[in-house]
Amino acid sequence: MNAIGSPISRVDGPAKVTGAATYAADFAIANLAHAALVQASVPAGRIAAIDTRAAEAAPGVLAVMTHENTRRLPWHPRDPRPGVDPKSGERLHPLEDDLVRYDGQPVAMVVATSEVEARAAAELVRVSYAPTAARTRFDPAYGHEPSAATAKAGRPGDTARGDPEDAFTRSEVTVDVPFVQPREQHVAMEPHATIAAWDDEGGLTLYDKSQWVDNVRTEIGLAFGIDEKRIRVISPFVGGAFGSGLRTWPHVAMAALAAERVGRPVRLALTRRALFTNTGYRPRTESRIRLGADRDGTLSSIVHEAIGQTSTYEEYAETTLTPTRQLYACENVATHYRLVDMNVNTPSPMRGPGAATGQLFLETAMDELAQALGMDPLDLRLKNLAERDPDSGKPWSSKALRACYEQAAERFGWADRPRDDAARTVGHERIGSGMASAFYPAHRSKARASVTLYANGGAMVQAATSDMGPGTYTALSQVAADALGLPLEQVRVEIGDTALPQAPAHGGSITMATLGNAVANACSRLREDLGVENGGDLVAALGGRDSHRAEGSSSPGKEAQDYESAAFGAIFAEVRVDPELGTVRVARLVGGYDVGRVVNPKLARSQCIGGMVQGIGMALTEEALFDERLGRVMNANLAEYLAPVCADVGALEAFFVESDDRIFNPLGVKGLAEIALCGVAAAIVNAVHDATGLRLHRVPVTPERIVMAQAARGG
């Protein structure tokens, strides 16, 4: 049986469920000290004074570090900047000056012999501030165009094709839809943590929660002004990240500074509250989208404006408007993107960055247009399906979105959904159905991997990539097993270490299209080295040697010049709403996906249902509540930041239509993690409207918002 395409259980599953898997904070390092942060309590200003005397006298304290006594690092610039970093502005340099840029910014750090002692002493540090005016309200009036560097990176301020304004004016049917998506946090199971250990020769080892260990090594090398070859970053397991582990956050450099100061290894583990202000988040984004169509449903105009938040010290921007330009066939399209600088920490990629937000806006607007046309929402999307990329004019390397629509609709029972009031009422609840499209661009990058064959018939795959949960260990094992003709149990995978062949970020749904092909290439090279064709005996070809190692690589080809590549999907949702209480229950979700060749159906389904659950949170529960007076996230904890729990989740069905994109890459895969979230929230919001008749132009759709909207409607 071929390993690729088989629903194999996670090869790293036993290690995770038995506690053998070692996460960043778990490494047992001799003589380990612990650090704790002191965070700013004002959103803007300067530090007037810091009193550290009580903290320094506290039990177990080794050092109290502030901007007054911590050495300045060189922080050499990085050119070009990595794709995960903002293209304008400068990353935060912790403990370098007295300037406060946002509430929660690290302003001091205590190092002690235990974590309890460090945190207790941190509470004793007294900081007084000279506050200055802060921008803590999201005000679109302060929106500005992205910088030239940001625009060049695919986030332009303004784009247009055709004459969308004139076409909108001439359209037979139009809708004008505002929408608000609030700040969302990653809230992964594993908090961010770093252990830093210097050796006697000036080398640095970092055990860090990271989706890109090579990036951490480069960033810290530039920060400290040392050759990155003297730095090793280790991150074999990541307990969820959703994009929060792509950047190198300030606490990593702070851990290294602390270890340098006290002359022993230091662990800095962020508290759950600190995660909200010391790692990134999905930024608040407001939108206005105008759609125009002919009476038969043909789109004649799309004009989409979006305004996102960023920090005052970095310009973070998203591809929020990319789906608007690429998802539907329309000759007249304009997009306008603006940013609002605020005294907050810098946002970051979060699952489906930009695309999930943009499709929430676009797909709810499409639902409103279908209603205005008196047309089935599915028929409207089929009517405007883009057979080529409407923005570039290039053909798709593969596209099975029509099959996604048709098969998902059939499985959901879309044509037979209840339409009359009696059929849609069950006790106190109203049944509603909604749907949405899903789209995420497919990319791949450069990567290297090695494969070592041993005389005992085993093989080892090595690469510096990470695994934050999608099953990288398992999928790479499957690729190597098939390429080498070995049983899966004879293949081991070692990842998450800068000592291994270089790999790109584990994000953006690029890992299998990138690293999977590098592993396959390494296996091919090993066969070539040994002179063994497929089906031949590799072990015999070793000729008595203990092992043989081959290295392979993968990089994008000219396909990106000739084709556009993307994953596609269709999501159908059924909700049950109690109009009196305003409660919404997601009874079921059905998603059909075109993601290219599926390496492991079991892991792929797991990714999709995980995205569906995250979409339930986006639609119904998740919102970082921001107090504009204090410039502070008020629900920075897992008790009040309401991520979905088991009781919030109904029946979830995810399936994959036939697809195999060998134009995009030799393995035929297209990426899966991001597409699993895209469209889910919109389908749920559309279903809520179907159940209640209410158009709620912001998420989350909470009970109080439903009750208030019904009261405003007069019933």
Report the C-alpha dihedral over residues 661, 662, 668, 671, rounded to 10 degrees.
-50
Are the C-beta atoms of residues 680 and 611 closer than 8 Å to each other? Answer: yes
| Phi, psi of 394, rounded to the nearest 5 degrees | -75, 155
Q: Contact, 165 vs 303, CB < 8 A?
A: yes
Q: How far apart are CA 664 and CA 61, in angstroms?
A: 56
> Among residues 523, 528, 599, 527, which one has the least CA distance to residue 554?
523
The partner residues of 267 in beta bridges, in order of sequence, read 34, 195
Residue-wise over 194-232: b if at least 16 C-beta within 10 A, else e? bbbbbeeeeebbbbbbbbbbbbbbbbbbbbbeeebebbb
* Token output for 347: 């946002």
Show Cβ contacts of residue 278 under 8 Å, excluding neighbours closer than 6 positions: 37, 39, 104, 106, 192, 249, 250, 251, 270, 345
- Within 10 A of 17 (CB to CB), how many other CB atoms are there? 10
Q: Using alpha carbons, select from 344, 360, 325 the residue that is nearest to residue 283.
A: 344
3-state secondary structure string across 467-523: CCCCCHHHHHHHHHHHHHCCCHHHEEEECCECCCCCCCCCCCCCHHHHHHHHHHHHH
The helix (run of H) or strand (run of E) holding residue 220 is: helix 213-224
* Active-site residue list: 674
Which string of DSSP letters, residue by residue, matches 340-383? EEESS------SSTTHHHHHHHHHHHHHHHHHHHT--HHHHHHH
Do residues 366 and 291 make contact, with C-beta atoms less than 8 angstroms apart? yes
H-run or E-run covering 407:
helix 401-412
Q: How far is CA 696 from the centre of its chain?
A: 25
Residue 196: partners with Cβ closer than 8 Å, 6 or more residues away: 204, 205, 206, 252, 255, 256, 258, 259, 265, 266, 268
Q: Which residue has the tokens 């938040």?
A: 309
How many other CB atoms sit within 10 Å of the CB of residue 58? 19
Short-list 269, 244, 227, CA closest to 498: 227
Region label for 168, one of left (φ > 0), alpha (ψ between -120 and 50) or beta (otherwise) = alpha
> What b/e sequence results for 411-446 when a residue is b if at least 16 CB atoms lie within 10 Å of its CB, and e otherwise?
ebebeebbeeeeebeeeebbbbbbbbbbbbbbbbbe
Peptide bond into 80 cis (omega under 30): yes
**Long-range contacts of the stretch 224-229 (C-beta < 8 A, 24+):** 224/73, 224/74, 224/253, 224/256, 225/73, 225/74, 225/76, 226/202
Contact 678, 356 (CB under 8 A): yes
Closest CA to 368 of 288, 261, 457, 468: 288
